[in-house]
Amino acid sequence: ACLVGSDQLVLPGDVSWMTAGRGVAHVERTPADALAKGSSLHGLQVWLASPREHEQGAPSYSHHPAASLPVSDSLGVRICMIAGTGFCLASPVPVLSPTLYAQVQMQTAATLQVPNEHVERALYLLEGELQMNGEDVAPCSLVVLPEGEEVTLCAQGECQLV
């Protein structure tokens, strides 16, 4: 395994992006002072497959504070682009293939058209009430979006998804 020498405290909204390549050893630990205070954590760890030509490339690590990520906030829909591009936003997080990874917060009755600019798309509803094309989406579920189709999301209550 390879060690890239990173020691990073990750705060709410931050993105730590690691490309394993030939292999990376990593450890995730809660600092002792946070453990002593009864710290809790809620987060997502997402794995993306590297394009075949990069599978054995050099490992890398980058950290991106929440304030460095582009945000759109309009008509009850807040989009933070975590990695890649979409919704007229481009993240500084380095990706090896076309990617759309965004955090979306929607107020009650807000709608969002999800374009078909990416071939493989899915959404994960973290919390709240959401419909996709008029059908309810279950919280804590992954929904694969139909390839080539635009879909309409409508918040039935405040919700948060990626």
Complete DSSP assignment for 136-156:
EE-TT-EEEPPTT--EEEEEE
Would the pLDDT of 142 be above 70? yes
AA identity, residue 89: L
Would the pLDDT of 103 be above 90? yes
| pLDDT for the residue 3 | 45
Residue 132: CB atoms within 10 Å:
19
Pairwise CA distance, residues 116 & 140, whole Å: 23
The model's pLDDT over 58-98, given as tens digits with 9 standing for 90+, comes to 777 778 888 999 999 999 999 999 999 999 999 999 888 88
Global pTM reads 0.80
| pLDDT for the residue 8 | 58
The model's pLDDT over 13-59, given as tens digits with 9 standing for 90+, comes to 777 677 776 666 656 667 778 778 877 766 777 777 777 887 777 77
Long-range contacts formed by 128-132: CB under 8 A, 24+ apart: 128/155, 128/156, 128/157, 128/158, 128/159, 128/160, 128/161, 129/155, 129/156, 129/157, 129/159, 130/106, 130/154, 130/155, 130/156, 130/159, 130/161, 131/156
| pLDDT for the residue 2 | 43
At residue 10 the predicted structure's pLDDT band, cuts being 50, 70 and 90, is: low
Average of per-residue pLDDT across 113-129: 93
- The number of angstroms, rounded, from the C-alpha of 77 to the middle of its chain's C-alpha atoms is 16
Residue 88: CB atoms within 10 Å:
9
DSSP-derived pairing of the beta strands 111-114 and 122-132: unpaired
